[in-house]
Amino acid sequence: MLKVGIIGTGAMGTQHFRRMVTLMSNVEVVAVSDVNEANATSLIKSFPGIRFIADAHALIRDPEVQAILIASSSPTHEDYCLTAIEEQKPVFCEKPLSVTSEGAKKVVEAEMKGGKRLIQLGFNRRFDSGFMQLHDILASGKLGDALLAHCSHRAPRVPDWYSTTMAITETLVHEIDIMSWIFNDYFISAQVVMPRKHPDASAILQDPQVILLTTSRGALVMVDVFVNCQYGYDIQCDIVAEKGTARLPDLAKIVVRHDASCGFEIGSDGLKHFEESYNREIQCWIDAAITGEIKSGPSSWDGYKVAVVTDSAVKAQTSGAIEPIAALETPAFYRS
């Protein structure tokens, strides 16, 4: 039984907490921490065995806590990962690994110095059955090499504090990771094109944005990030390869014919949309963390690679130019 401490009991942390206490095997949540004590204590009030520890670093160091799940706000991830590495405890860290590429690199270097992989990063799409099928068909070679992909990442609305930069650092990061995994390639340049702004987008948000990423083998990934799309939470991916195409399946929902129309509900909640993938990624992490070492799943190196692409894409938002992306060679430590 893996004894886990959870840092961050907001939207994502609460969901991970609930799946661990109700669905997952071989795991016990023993402590939670959050700067918002009222929310954290209300979450655990019907679980008398679970402790609230105000200081997250103390939670990481607590002798009863064997592994840590980090779901606090993005700027806190790097620091908590570094403390967990010091303690040599396995970590599930929500994306991003750090809000800067320098910070992500520090985590990678600390993990390598410690001598074993301890971090699984929350790029949950690698556990989504549709994206896994896209990965497998490309890997089979049946379609030849990929030429391009059209992707959409849309949400009905976002809070007022969500900014233009966050469209890259919080949202596009998922496409950066999943498309480089599916294409088995890395990105070498980024460009951002901004169409006319949606009237509901706040003063600090340009929405939608179209991001063009080029891979080292010359394939193109085009993503529209549109977070005021109004109509629902909608993830699309359509790949064109040398000998055929492959498209992300629609949700497994019943098709309803009614009132002179035909269709299915796409929903508006991203956490619900990807629920099965979250369940799979967390069980995968628990199974690995029990052994004391993480050998599969998205690594901190993947988080670092995404942070480097993110830097160029953010620069491209203001420069309007095609920005080069620094090349990285994967260390043997992260090649599995």
Ligand X SMILES: NC(=O)c1ccc[n+]([C@@H]2O[C@H](COP(=O)([O-])OP(=O)(O)OC[C@H]3O[C@@H](n4cnc5c(N)ncnc54)[C@H](O)[C@@H]3O)[C@@H](O)[C@H]2O)c1
Q: How far is the CB of 128 from ligand X (least distance, A)?
A: 10
Binding to ligand X by CB under 6 A, coded x per residue (else -) over 215-254, reads ----------------------------------------
Helices (H), 52-128: 56-61, 77-86, 101-114
How far, in Å, CA of 119 to CA of 93, rounded?
Answer: 7
Q: Does 83 bind ligand X (CB under 6 A)?
A: no
**Of these, 1, 18, 26, 36, which contacts ligand X (CB under 6 A)?**
36
Q: Does 1 bind ligand X (CB under 6 A)?
A: no
How far, in Å, CA of 134 to CA of 239, rounded?
Answer: 8
**Of these, 2, 9, 178, 241, which contacts ligand X (CB under 6 A)?**
9
Ranked by CB distance to ligand X, the top (closest) residue is 10
Which amino acid is it at 237? C
Give the binding range for ligand X (CB under 6 A) out of 70-78, 111-119, 201-209, 294-302. Answer: 70-78
Q: How far apart are the first and last CA of the chain?
A: 26
Q: Please, how many CA atoms are within 13 Å of residue 4, restricted to the half-sphere of its CB?
A: 34
Other residues' Cβ atoms within 10 Å of the Cβ of residue 190: 27
**Of these, 2, 4, 6, 8, which contacts ligand X (CB under 6 A)?**
8
How far, in Å, CA of 74 to CA of 333, rounded?
Answer: 25
How far, in Å, CA of 142 to CA of 140, rounded?
Answer: 5
**Of these, 73, 88, 245, 319, which contacts ligand X (CB under 6 A)?**
73
Q: Is 38 helix (H, G, I), strand (E, B) or coil?
A: helix
Q: Does 5 bind ligand X (CB under 6 A)?
A: no
Q: How far is the CB of 245 from ligand X (least distance, A)?
A: 26
**For ligand X, the closer CB: 73 or 88:** 73
**For ligand X, the closer CB: 39 or 216:** 39
Q: Is 314 helix (H, G, I), strand (E, B) or coil?
A: helix
**Of these, 83, 124, 214, 310, which contacts ligand X (CB under 6 A)?**
124
**For ligand X, the closer CB: 33 or 120:** 33
With tokens 């919080």, the residue in question is: 170
**Of these, 11, 54, 194, 327, which contacts ligand X (CB under 6 A)?**
11
